[in-house]
Amino acid sequence: MGRRPASFSRVAQPVRTLWQRFAFTALVLAAFGLMLLGKADIVVVKRLQIAAVDAVAPILDALSHPAAAVSKGVETALSLRDLHAENVLLREENSRLKQWQHVAHLLESENKALKRLTRHVGPPPVSYISARVIAEAGGPFVRSALLNAGRRSGVRRGQGVVSEDGLAGTVVEVGELHSRVLLVTDLNAQIPVLIGAAREPGILVGDNTNHPRILYLPQNNRVSPGDLVISSGHGGMLPAGLPVGTVSSVSESGIRVKPVVDWTHLEFVRIVDYLMQGVIPGPMDPPPFTVLAPDPEPTLVERLGVTRGKTDR
């Protein structure tokens, strides 16, 4: 018999028994270690994490199609049931909205004229990237979603994400093929907003419940339930004027907001490519933009970007 196999097994055997005995403890310690590393925001860990999610993104994308088809089917069946009542409602709403559209057009032209008169410098131009929601984590701990558009489609960290109703969240993590959206209800989401007709400035802070809070309001504010909450654009992260929610309750314990986004039907979203770099660049971000082109005045509809109805499939 040769010596080499014998010596190999002699070396390998103790290692193997050692592993079998202590694997469990070692793995628990490794998991704790990873948690601490993650808390320390180490670039290598973050990179590995993003690469791993990039690898499974196509699978999740494929899985989300049949799920969407099933939920669409259920919805169609339900809507067939009360088609008539809905039709009547929609007719009424449509005639009401036509009046509103007329008012909006009037105000827009007036607004334009006034801005021209005062040489108002408008916000930078905005373009959109459409994406599909391929996974959502809406548990008690995290409120986030994965989108099937990443760096290749031009997504960058900090960009806002809007559904057809309004602001859904902001991009916090970008891979080649995917990006992760932190929804406005998440514990870590903080969005500068303006509230009501008085445009009281505050910060919308999520706490993993369905109704985020408003903090840092000025004293003696005049906020009441039903007030519209819009993004303020402070900090240069999001365009100003995106609808975020409506004030649902005002009490001693604080002000709660009901987001406008219908979380159940969050299937397609648009990422707002706002040409300002309000986020402090992380070590993994590309260098910030320095040129802000003189902008053609965007129309009201373009700027709000949410009134066009559902994104086409």
Partner 1 sequence: MKTSFVQRMDLWARHLMPAATMLLLVLVSAVPLGIPGYAQVSPAFTLMAVFYWAVYRPDLTPPSVVFLTGLAEDLVHGFPLGLTAIIFLAVYGVATTQRQTFLTKPFFIAWGGFVIISFGAFLLDWTLMSVFSLAWIVPDTVLARFGLTVALFPAMAWLFVRVHRYLVR
C-beta closer to partner 1: residue 134 or 229: 134
Q: How far is the CB of 36 from partner 1 (least distance, A)?
A: 8
Whole-angstrom Cα Rg for the chain: 25
Give the residue ranges of DSSP H helices in the chain: 3-39, 43-81, 83-117, 300-304
Q: What residues numbered 246-305 form the site for partner 1, per CB under 8 A?
A: 263-267
Annotate each residue in 39-78 with x if it binds partner 1 (CB under 8 A) or - if it does not, as one string: x-----x---x--xx--x--xx--xx--xx-xxx--x---
Q: How many residues bind partner 1 (CB under 8 A)?
A: 54
Q: Which of 141, 138, 168 is nearest to 262 (CA)?
A: 168
Q: Is 203 in the site for partner 1 (CB under 8 A)?
A: no
Choices 24-32, 152-160, 163-171, 212-220 (CB under 8 A): range interacting with partner 1: 24-32
* 205: CB partners within 8 A, 6+ apart: 189, 190, 212, 213, 214, 215
Shortest Cβ 10–partner 1 spacing (Å): 24
The window from 22-30, 104-112, 214-222, 249-257 that contacts partner 1 (CB under 8 A) reads 22-30
What is the residue type of 88? V
First-to-last CA distance in the chain? 69
Q: Which residues bind partner 1 (CB under 8 A)?
A: 23-24, 27-28, 30-35, 37-39, 45, 49, 52-53, 56, 59-60, 63-64, 67-68, 70-72, 75, 133-142, 144-146, 173, 180, 187-188, 207-210, 263-267
